[in-house]
Structure 1
Amino acid sequence: MKEKAYFHLPGLFEFYELYRMFLPLFREHREYFYDWCEIGSIYGAPSDCIWGGGRTGFGENDPKEVLELMQEYGISARLTFSNSLLRQEHLLDRKCNTLCRLFEKNTEPQNGVIIYSELLLKYIKKHYPGFYFVSSTTKVLTDFTQFEKEIRRKDFCYVVPDFRLNKTFDQLNTLTQAEKNKVEFLCNECCWFGCRNRKACYETVSRKNLGENCPEYRCKAPEGEKGYLFSKAMKNPGFIGIDDIRNIYLPMGFSNFKIEGRGLGSALILEFLLYYMTKPEYQIHVREKIYLDSMLDLF
């Protein structure tokens, strides 16, 4: 298979310790992993980053150490700045600007910003032109015509559609190859396929990142109270599994796939890495090298 799938992985700041152990394995034991997959980027934001969006309250690792790890393994770092409710005064936030100055310095590979706000997009383009930009899935682009317009914007190198567009193959196949190269599918969403409150959920996260006193968003989807379950995500009509990637998306000309999970635990992130990237016969090897030993007690 000549085509490559590039996975964009969660937890740049949130799962630093996991990646500190996983990335050496990925480099030194490439035989453990599918030869048709690569790591396209790792994304995230510090826990107290007001430009942040998507998930809040996670990510404590030192930005300099995080950047050094990404540089050591030649992986693009993406800052998740997808807050949808930013105002002019928020653009001067010291911490976010310091992050931009630090991560813009690395030019090989180029680092990126996942973004929602047009106000912030203009600001970062002006003051930190070294970044590339990803249009965030928090825009909830469920209308294909709207999605096409977003793809055709020169501002963005990648666009992440809402997961409910994942299987609209007749429309996806009308895109040019250059447009297909910009599409980044969200593979493992667990959210109810019929949800109409996705924007409201993301706006609550944006308000929390801004420090506003707002009530918790209460998901009313069927079984929403159970939280994220990978087994449930696999049954979602928008789920993209490894067979889908190899047999449908890669032959169609799509190569970018986003794995969600910044607000989850590192054990579940490891399961994503095992499922999407690791050959079944080597999954136990990866588990053993990351956390298993003969004396481990689960309870």
Structure 2
Amino acid sequence: MAAMKSKSPTQVPGARYHLPGLFEFYELYKVFLPLWRNHRDWFYEWCDIASIYGAPMDCLWGGGRAGFGEADAKNVLSLMNEYGISARLTFSNSLLQEEHLADKKCNELCRLFSGAKEKSGVILHSDLLLTYLKAKFPEFYLVSSTTKVLTNFDDFERELNRPEFEYVVPDFRLNKSFERLSALNQSQKDKVEFLCNECCNFGCKERKACYENVSRKNLGQDVADHKCASADAAGGYRFSLAMKNPGFIGIQDIQKTYLPMGFSNFKIEGRGLGSAIVLEFLLYYMTKPDHQLEVREAIYLDSMLDLF
């Protein structure tokens, strides 16, 4: 079957989702994407898949969850090419130095994905890496990472005005800054990519330290895991808790608030979670309620399955 025809941002109506787990959940997307294409009536008409992001495990330039992402890069690219979806490499390590730019694995990934049928992107934090990529791999579009923790709206707006970035992911605590968000011009709004389902405590002051800890791990430094002091951190990620977060963006928010305001890009987090919870995100954000069971059945439901 022929690949879906790719669409430019101006052609895609409604919400454009940026989904987690390019390498981490390859097996899930290998089953989900045929459902998305062949049963489009099961899914909301007002949304589309704009990109899938991630990085292979033990990726030096990586800034996301270390140790996840086992899928073969060529298989991943083939899947994205088949469905006309943009692949995004999560290279958001904030602690890169000049000597790290020569990393063979990361450069080979860039060479591979720079030849994708649908233009690939790179999510990054480091201006050093930004300069390197623009010179060496100009085929990529660039995304400013939420790991910069831009909680001040003026800082965020300055980031939006940087011509190097096609998208900017603000800290989730700016998600409901509606007075300032509504005042942005349309070219700025087109660059905003909201992080929808963050579970981190809204008042957390350790977010930057947590990201830097992950960056150190990806650089191969022998450091202990960051221990978050937030009262609810011990329970790990819970979608039910994320929904109660003041920064949470649900489907009603997208349809009734953000789309009418002129925003269209929405990022779903979850690279460091299990595929079962990521499936729940795909069901909640993209699947009509009457067809959610059919999607579950097609992906993993077995009539003889015992959960315990």
- TM-score per shorter chain, which class? over 0.9
Tell whether 2:212 aligns with 1:200: no
* Residue 29 of structure 1: aligned partner: 39
Secondary structure, aligned partner of 2:291 = helix
Secondary structure, aligned partner of 1:38 = strand
* Residue 56 of structure 2: aligned partner: 46
Distance in 2 (alpha carbons) for counterparts of 1:160 and 1:93: 26
Q: Mean alpha-carbon deviation: is it higher for 213-222 or for 38-47?
A: 213-222
* Residue 266 of structure 1: aligned partner: 275
Distance in 2 (alpha carbons) for counterparts of 1:29 and 1:105: 29
* Residue 282 of structure 1: aligned partner: 291
Of residues 195, 199, 206 in structure 2, which corresponds to 1:190? 199
Task: State, as a whole percentage, how many aligned pairs show the same letter.
Answer: 69
Distance in 2 (alpha carbons) for counterparts of 1:213 and 1:16: 29
Question: Please, what TM-score do these two structures have when normalized by structure 2?
Answer: 0.96
* Residue 4 of structure 2: aligned partner: none
Distance in 2 (alpha carbons) for counterparts of 1:174 and 1:55: 34
Runs of at least 4 residues off by over 2 Å: none
* Residue 166 of structure 1: aligned partner: 175
Distance in 1 (alpha carbons) for counterparts of 2:82 and 2:221: 38
- Tell me the amino acid that sits aligned with residue 189 of structure 1: E
* Residue 29 of structure 2: aligned partner: 19
Distance in 2 (alpha carbons) for counterparts of 1:241 and 1:210: 35
Tell whether 2:302 aligns with 1:296: no
- Tell me the amino acid that sits aligned with residue 278 of structure 2: I
Of residues 230, 252, 273 in structure 1, which corresponds to 2:239? 230
CA-to-aligned-CA distance 1:238-287 (integer Å, 9 cap, x gap): 00000000000000000000000000000000000000000000000000
1:83-98 pair list within 5 angstroms:
83-98=93-108
CA-to-aligned-CA distance 1:169-228 (integer Å, 9 cap, x gap): 000001001110000000000000001110000000000000001121001001111110
- Tell me the amino acid that sits aligned with residue 78 of structure 1: R
> How far did 1:109 drift?
1.6
Distance in 2 (alpha carbons) for counterparts of 1:215 and 1:291: 35
Distance in 2 (alpha carbons) for counterparts of 1:165 and 1:10: 21
- Tell me the amino acid that sits aligned with residue 49 of structure 2: I
> How far did 1:293 drift?
2.1
* Residue 66 of structure 1: aligned partner: 76
Tell whether 2:153 aligns with 1:144: yes
Distance in 2 (alpha carbons) for counterparts of 1:44 and 1:88: 23
Tell whether 2:161 aligns with 1:157: no
Q: Judge conservation of contact 1:185–1:256 (CA < 8 Å) in 2.
A: yes
* Residue 213 of structure 1: aligned partner: 222
Unaligned 5+ segments in structure 2 are 1-11
> How far did 1:54 drift?
2.1
- Tell me the amino acid that sits aligned with residue 274 of structure 1: L
Q: Judge conservation of contact 1:163–1:186 (CA < 8 Å) in 2.
A: yes
Tell whether 2:241 aligns with 1:241: no
Distance in 2 (alpha carbons) for counterparts of 1:215 and 1:24: 41
Distance in 2 (alpha carbons) for counterparts of 1:156 and 1:223: 34
Q: Judge conservation of contact 1:32–1:279 (CA < 8 Å) in 2.
A: yes
Of residues 135, 141, 144 in structure 2, which corresponds to 1:132? 141
* Residue 101 of structure 1: aligned partner: 111
Q: Judge conservation of contact 1:189–1:239 (CA < 8 Å) in 2.
A: yes
Unaligned 5+ segments in structure 1 are none
> How far did 1:3 drift?
4.0
Distance in 1 (alpha carbons) for counterparts of 2:15 and 2:34: 20
Distance in 2 (alpha carbons) for counterparts of 1:223 and 1:288: 33
Secondary structure, aligned partner of 2:50 = strand
Secondary structure, aligned partner of 2:18 = strand
Q: Judge conservation of contact 1:187–1:259 (CA < 8 Å) in 2.
A: yes
